[in-house]
Amino acid sequence: MSGTAQIGVTGLAVMGRNLARNFARHGYTVAVHNRSYARTQSLVEEHGDEGTFVPSESMADFVASLERPRKVVIMVKAGGPTDAVIDELVPLLEEGDIVVDAGNAHFPDTIRREAALKEHGLHFVGTGVSGGEEGALNGPSIMPGGTREAYESLGPILEDISAKVDGVPCATYVGSDGAGHFVKMVHNGIEYADMQLIAEAYDLLRQGLGASAAEIGEIFAQWNTGDLESFLIEITADVLKHTDADTGKAFVDIILDQAEQKGTGRWTVQNGLDLGVPITGIAEATFARALSGSVPQREAARAVLPAHAAQWEVKDRDAFIEDVRQALYASKVVAYSQGFDQIAAAATEYGWDIDRGAMARIWRGGCIIRARFLNRITEAYERAADLPLLLADEYFTDAVASGLPAWRRVVAGAAQNGVPTPAFSSSLAYYDGVRAERLPAALVQAQRDFFGAHTYKRVDREGTFHTEWSGDRTEAEA
Ligand code: 6PG
The answer on whether 27 is annotated among ligand-binding residues is: no
- Asked whether 134 lines ligand 1 (CB < 6 A), one says no
If we measure between CA atoms, which residue out of 61, 62, 68, 49 comes closest to residue 12? 62
- Asked whether 132 lines ligand 1 (CB < 6 A), one says yes
If we measure between CA atoms, which residue out of 166, 167, 169 comes closest to residue 139? 169
- Asked whether 331 lines ligand 1 (CB < 6 A), one says no
Ligand 1 pocket test, pick from 127, 191, 232, 266 with the greatest ligand atom count within 8 Å of Cβ, gives 191
pTM of the model: 0.97
18-34 confidence digits (pLDDT tens): 999 999 999 999 999 99
* 184 belongs to the catalytic site: yes
> Which long-range contacts (C-beta less than 8 Å, at least 24 apart) are formed by 354-358?
354/174, 354/175, 354/179, 354/183, 355/172, 355/381, 355/385, 356/381, 356/385, 356/387, 357/381, 357/382, 357/385, 358/172
Q: How confident is the model at residue 216 (pLDDT cuts 50, 70, 90)?
A: very high
Residues 365, 347: Cα–Cα separation, whole Å: 24
* Residue of minimum CA distance from atom 9 in ligand 1: 188
228-247 confidence digits (pLDDT tens): 999 999 999 999 999 999 99
Calculate mean pLDDT across residues 247-266. Answer: 97
Residues 357, 172: Cα–Cα separation, whole Å: 11
Residue 439 identity (one-letter amino acid): L
Residues 43, 15: Cα–Cα separation, whole Å: 12
If we measure between CA atoms, which residue out of 362, 366, 359 comes closest to residue 134? 366
pLDDT of residue 1: 57
DSSP class per residue in 274-334: HHT---HHHHHHHHHHHHHT-HHHHHHHHHH-----PPP--S-HHHHHHHHHHHHHHHHHH
Given 191, 200, 284, 332, the catalytic residue: 191
* Residue of minimum CA distance from atom 7 in ligand 1: 130
57-85 confidence digits (pLDDT tens): 999 999 999 999 999 999 999 999 999 99
